[in-house]
Amino acid sequence: NAGVTQTPKFRVLKTGQSMTLLCAQDMNHEYMYWYRQDPGMGLRLIHYSVGEGTTAKGEVPDGYNVSRLKKQNFLLGLESAAPSQTSVYFCASSYVRGQGTMNTEAFFGQGTRLTVV
């Protein structure tokens, strides 16, 4: 049972390049989230998904796109990377209990450290 796994762990991009971060969970969780964490700052929600084929914007969605084609995977894309997107990216997942609102522990991946030069 691997939990939540992020690929890659580290990446350096040049300004304008594109890339996709992969988050995979093996816990059959419905909800998945992408956050970014900048030095000295908290976790800011980029996009999230409540199930296969559905996505929604979080607090800081600009410059990012996401897809949830399979329940176990949540992809985060940067179409044209900018230095302001240098950050540590965390993916998280959780299951649904009861009425279908978020109310259980979110399990985090190990993070992806992205540097845009």
Measuring CA to CA, how many Å separate 58 from each of 1, 11, 13, 82, 117? Answer: 29, 23, 24, 19, 25
Tell me the window of 16-24, 61-69, 70-78, 100-108 that interacts with another protein (CB under 8 A): 100-108
CA distance 38 to 13: 17
- Between the alpha carbon of residue 84 and those of residues 7, 14, 65, 81, 116, the distances in Å are 21, 12, 16, 8, 8
Closest CA to 74 of 96, 97, 90: 90
Give min distance, CB of 103 to another protein, in A.
Answer: 4
Binding another protein (rule: CB under 8 A), the pick from 23, 24, 76, 92 is 92
Is 56 an interacting residue with respect to another protein (CB under 8 A)?
yes
| Given 59, 70, 80, 84, the residue binding another protein (CB under 8 A) | 59
The yes or no reply on residue 50 touching another protein (CB under 8 A) is: yes
Q: 6-35: which residues touch another protein (CB under 8 A)?
A: 31, 33, 35
List 80, 110, 115, 117, residue binding another protein (CB under 8 A):
110
Please work out the total of residues on this chain that contact another protein, with binding judged by CB under 8 A.
27
> Which residues of this chain interact with another protein, rule CB under 8 A?
31, 33, 35, 41-45, 48, 50, 56, 58-59, 90, 92, 94, 100-106, 108-111
